[in-house]
Amino acid sequence: MNRSNVPYMYILSLLAACGFGLIALAVKGDRLSAFDQGFSSFVQSWESEGWTRVMKGFSWVGSTMPVIVLSLGMIVVLYVFVGRRKGLFLFLAAIGGSALIGNVLKSLFGRERPSVHRLMEEGGFSFPSSSSVTAVALYGVIVYLLWSPRLSRAGKIALTAAAIFMMVCVGLSRIYLGVHYPSDVIGGMLAGTAWLWLSIAVFKHLSDSRDKNVRFSM
pLDDT digits (tens, 9 = 90+) for 36-75: 999 999 999 999 999 999 999 999 999 889 999 999 998 8
What is the number of other CB atoms lying within 10 angstroms of the CB of residue 199?
26
Q: What contacts 146, CB < 8 A, 6 or more positions away?
A: 82, 159
The answer to whether the CB of 83 falls within 8 A of the CB of 192 is: no
Work out the average pLDDT over 177-190.
96
Which ranges in 77-152 belong to alpha helices (H)? 87-109, 130-146
Does residue 155 have a pLDDT over 50?
A: yes
Distance of CA 57 to the CA centre of its chain: 17
Angle, alpha carbons 133-134-137 (nearest 5°): 90
Query: What residue segments make up the domains of the chain, in order of their start?
Result: 3-209
Work out the average pLDDT over 180-194.
97
